[in-house]
Structure 1
Amino acid sequence: MQRANYYTVEPELMTYLIKQEALIKRKVEASFGLTIWELLKLRTSQLNQCAYCLAMHSKQALEYGESINRIIALNAWQDTPLYNKKERAALALCEKLTLSQNIDDDFYLVLAELFDQPNLVTLTVAINAINSWNRMVKMFKPTVEFNER
């Protein structure tokens, strides 16, 4: 069954999401970096089981200089030394927000030690954005294209 092409059915709404993505990228580049952003996109997409986004963001992460080992190990990030303290905190936040878990004061303080307030807002919006994209893809199921090296 062919589902709606969300880009052609509602181009105005999709333009908004694309502009949001460009703004997030600009904020991320100026704050905590594109590598963490791509790790967040990948981890969120793993949690949401979004193959389309996993394919897209694995390729993008490699283009931004991410290593294959860190991409492969991402699903078990807590059990590997491949991620630094800041990345671990961002990934923990990613999981909590994606899974609609509570952000208690103790965890917020850990985040606030590593990220200033503007970065915390950017981080949260970035995680919400990829969750939104995952849900669009899960609904409309565009063709997944994994690109081999």
Structure 2
Amino acid sequence: MNQPRLPWTDIAPKTYQAMAGVSATTAKSSLGPVLMELVQARVSQLNGCAFCLDMHARDLRRHGETWQRINSLPTWRETGLYSQRERAALGWAETMTQLVGHHGSRDAEFEALKAQFSDQEVVELCWTIAQINAWNRMAIGMQAPVIEKPIA
């Protein structure tokens, strides 16, 4: 098991608390907990963040999400397991996460998003995607360990 590189939450507690505050705010989004967790799990998959993926998979189970949908998240485009709303959010999450090599138009993904979400929801989703990308980078950079424990 990897050990954390530094006690980063203790070294910069004000910054950590500010990030936690952003997370607490986005968690209260009108988008609902399952959609938010699906997006955060998918972004964590894309970034290769084991710590965050483990956490969000557990949170999805706590919200009653099925193992089939959690396990199919990397292949969401190939299954009929996700609603149009979820598909639009997942597509936008991938667009906002995979920036390198994708600097062309994001209009198609944004139009799909706008067809399913209000302006308020779009902005809330964007903040959620931005904050999970930041958490992923800290967890990966500081080598946050995944602790083996039972999962429901």
Q: How would you bin the TM-score normalised by the shorter chain?
A: over 0.9
Query: How far does the alpha carbon of each residue in 1:34-57 deviate from its partner, in whole angstroms, 9 at most, with x for none?
Result: 101101111001100111111111
Query: How far does the alpha carbon of each residue in 1:88-122 deviate from its partner, in whole angstroms, 9 at most, with x for none?
Result: 00000011110013453333222111101010000
User: RCO (CA 8 Å, sep 6+): is it higher in 1 or 2?
Assistant: 2
Counterpart Cα distance in 1 of 2:4 and 2:19: 23
Q: Which residue of 1 aligns with 2:109?
A: 107
Q: Which residue of 2 aligns with 1:129?
A: 131
SS in 2 for 1:3: coil
Size of the alignment, in residue pairs? 146
Give TM-score, length-normalised by structure 1. 0.92
| 1:15 maps onto 2:17 in alignment | yes
Q: What residue identity is the alignment partner of 1:21?
A: S
Structure 1 runs of 4+ with >6 Å offset = none
Query: How far does the alpha carbon of each residue in 1:48-107 deviate from its partner, in whole angstroms, 9 at most, with x for none?
Result: 011111111111110011111100000111111100100000000011110013453333
The structure with the largest helix share of the pair is: 1
Unaligned runs of at least 5 residues, structure 1? none
Q: What residue identity is the alignment partner of 2:144?
A: P
SS in 1 for 2:28: helix
Mapping of residues 29-44 of structure 1, within 5 Å: 31-44=30-43
What percent of counterpart residues are identical?
A: 32
Unaligned runs of at least 5 residues, structure 2? none
Question: 1:69/1:8 Cα in 2 relative to 1: closer, same or farther (>3 Å)?
Answer: same
Q: Which residue of 2 aligns with 1:98?
A: 97
